[in-house]
Structure 1
Amino acid sequence: MMLPIDPAKKNSFQRRISDGDLIIVYERHDNMKAIKVCQGSELQNRFGIFKHSDWIGRSFGSKVLSNKGGFVYLLAPTPELWTLVLSHRTQILYIADISFVISYLEIVPGCLVLESGTGSGSLTTSLARAVAPSGHVYTFDFHEQRAASAREDFERIGLSSLITVDVRDIQGEGFPAEYCGVADSVFLDLPQPWLAIPSAVKMLKQDGVLCSFSPCIEQVQRSSETMRSDFTDIRTFEVLLRTYEVREERMKLSGGDKSGSLGSRPCKRRQPSSGEAIDGRETACSSIMARPCSESRGHTGYLTFARLKCF
């Protein structure tokens, strides 16, 4: 039942970039794109023109220059970066939820994980890396085109040997009987997860862990009620991530004020340039400032975990 892993298809970022590889072109932290390297092709952006032929043979992480002297970085398509650039066919899970899921589902190399639904594949790529090199992720989606697109994505980023994508309505049909009693973990991202919980019970190994992701608390309540007969240690979490920007800023000080702005450390004085005043008059300094990002993501969903009872 476990698919063999083809060593030639392992996702190794130690090798050089080749023609046909998928890479992440990094302009800045909020501007990245996935690009397939093609001999003879070009990338044009605000920094100039970048020839793909100049990228071939370079290491992942390289800084490359355009015809105008601008630059970008060529990064490997890690699960974290892929989550930021993938096509959103559905709502996706982000890093804060993903890391929490992998930790609480106790996923380690060699695990067999069942997932429904696949969606855009954001979580699936991180699950695959967690179970590598000898584990496997079997993911299901009822939407045929969505499943096909996800399968293509996993092939592009070199994870197809660790992931099997199938079309199946898990809410209506349950998981395939062939996985009965062999799953270490089950993850559900469904509109009515309580319909799939009885099937998940049959799939899990003794002491296996289930996680259900739901955006609404009413879904959590009904799912938890369904879990009570077969699961223990039922817990629900909401993961909220707050990101801070840290940057150096210039400030003007007047008179004897040497404290800088609120919440900053004391200013670093520099030599005054032409036109600046000294000796009690207005001077300039720089200080390291930290403040919350104005566009931090809020609520994404609730994560409900439960452990299969041992009878």
Structure 2
Amino acid sequence: MMKIKNNSYVLFFYNDSKKWLNKIDRKQSLHTHVGVIKHKDAIGKEYGSRLRTNKDKYVYLLEPTVHDFVMRSQHGTQIVYPKDLGYIAARAGVQSGQKIVEIGTGSGALTTFLASIVKPRGHVYTFDVAPDFMAIAKKNITRAGMLKYITMHEMDLKVAKKMPLSEMDMAVVDLGDPWTVVPQVRKMLKGSGAFIAICPTMNQLEKLTTALVENEFTDIECSEHILRTIEAREGKTRHSFYGIGHTTYVAFARKAFYDRKSKKETPEEKPESD
């Protein structure tokens, strides 16, 4: 039985549109539309319990998941949404113990998600060139408790003469011009290693897939994922008026070896004439 302590993270849940992720501080109170929630009242309770506010409303004390941390991250840049995160993990076969390189840390949402899967034996190495964004990402990653499984580098791999990593299981690229780092990514991946890129536009996909072929990648797939929620209530279930439509395109590929330098096959011998 997990009890809530001072400094524990709690998701105060009233409904899907009214929920708050807080770090418990016995001296603090949360003022909301459904009333005041005193942090000290949560201490000692089991996750899943509920509290009554001063407006006689109930809020549930839920243990935050990675999804909760991602959706409530401070956004310096556009985040990768959970509907895309799940597909990325499944398509690339992300699992515990893997080593992942990420180019373009952004707000750290994807970084956090990947680290939550590869931990405790795996690791995520993330690179960015914007110190302001990296500072925001570090706060988000630390808040989610994933910092020990992530190494952050302020470094531009586009101009690096030597790649800092090798034999990576997976590479993730979240840049406006992902095709520019495909050669560098290839050097860092192991054979058959997975490549994922986040592309907001189709023009980016076109340039990227061309670069992937030129750099000997195979199993190339580009996809878009649309999520539509359902309001399930007895006697009046319907599609939700709220939904997450297009957020990004996801490109997937694997490092291969085309054998372009091998000798040409010997042409078939011409049949003997009669």
- TM-score, length of structure 2 as denominator length: 0.88
Give the drift of 1:19.
1.5
Matches within 5 A, 1:45-60: 45-60=32-47
Equivalent position of 1:30 in the other structure: 17
Deviation at 1:62, TM superposition (A): 2.3
CA distance in 1, matches of 2:127, 2:4: 32
Q: Percent identity?
A: 33
Contact 1:16 1:58 in 2 (8 A): yes
Shift of 1:21: 2.5
Larger radius of gyration: 1
User: 232, 236, 254: which is aligned to 1:307?
Assistant: 254
2:244 is equivalent to residue 297 of structure 1 = yes
The answer (yes or no) to whether the contact 1:232–1:308 under 8 Å persists in 2 is yes
CA distance in 1, matches of 2:73, 2:49: 22
User: Which residue number in structure 2 is paired with residue 235 of structure 1?
Assistant: 221
Pairing 1:1-311 to 2, within 5 Å after superposition: 15-173=2-160, 177-180=163-166, 182-229=167-214, 230-248=216-234, 288-310=235-257
Q: Deviations over 1:224-280 (max 9, x none)?
A: 0011031011111111111111124xxxxxxxxxxxxxxxxxxxxxxxxxxxxxxxx
2:262 corresponds to which residue? none
* 3-state secondary structure, aligned to 1:190: coil
Partners of 1:75 and 1:169 lie apart in 2 by 40
Length, aligned pairs only: 257
Deviation of 1:136 after TM superposition, in Å, equals 0.9
Contact in 1 for aligned 2:199/2:248 (Cα 8 Å)? yes
SS of structure 2 residue aligned to 1:289: coil
Partner of 1:27, secondary structure, is strand
CA deviation map 1:85-124 (0-9, x unaligned): 2222111111111000011111111001111211122222
Name 2:272's counterpart in structure 1: none
Compute the displacement of 1:141 (Å). Answer: 2.0
Runs of 4+ in 1 over 3 A off after TM superposition: 170-174
Residue type at the aligned position of 1:179: L
Give 3-state SS (helix, strand or coil) of 1:212's partner: strand
Larger mean CA deviation between 150-159 and 190-199 belongs to 150-159
Contact kept? 2:66, 2:144, Cα under 8 Å: no
Q: How far has the Cα of 1:142 moved from its partner?
A: 1.5
Question: How big is the shift at 1:80?
Answer: 1.1
- 8 Å CA contact retained: 1:171, 1:192: no
Is the Cα contact below 8 Å between 2:76 and 2:136 reproduced in 1? no
Q: CA deviation at 1:57?
A: 2.1
Contact 2:74 2:140 (8 Å CA) reproduced = no
List alignment gaps of at least 5 residues for structure 1: 1-13, 249-287
Alignment partners' CA distance in 2, 1:59 and 1:114: 38
- The structure-2 alpha-carbon separation of the partners of 1:206 and 1:237, relative to structure 1 and needing over 3 Å to count, comes to same
Tell me, in whole angstroms, the C-alpha distance in 2 between the residues paired with 1:140 and 1:26. 35
- For normalisation by structure 1, the TM-score amounts to 0.78
Unmatched segments (≥5 aa) in structure 2: 260-274
| Preserved CA contact (<8 Å) 1:172 1:195 | no
**What CA distance in whole angstroms lies between the structure 2 residues aligned with 1:50 and 1:223?**
49
Paired residue type of 1:234: I
1:122-145 per-position Cα deviation (integer Å, ceiling 9, x unaligned): 222221111122111112222102
Report the CA distance between 1:171 and its aligned residue: 3.7
Counterpart AA for 1:293:
S
Give yes or no for contact 2:74–2:136 (8 Å, CA) kept in 1: no
Q: In 2, Cα distance between the equivalents of 1:147 and 1:227? A: 28
The alignment partner of 1:173 has SS state of: coil
Amino acid at match of 1:222: K
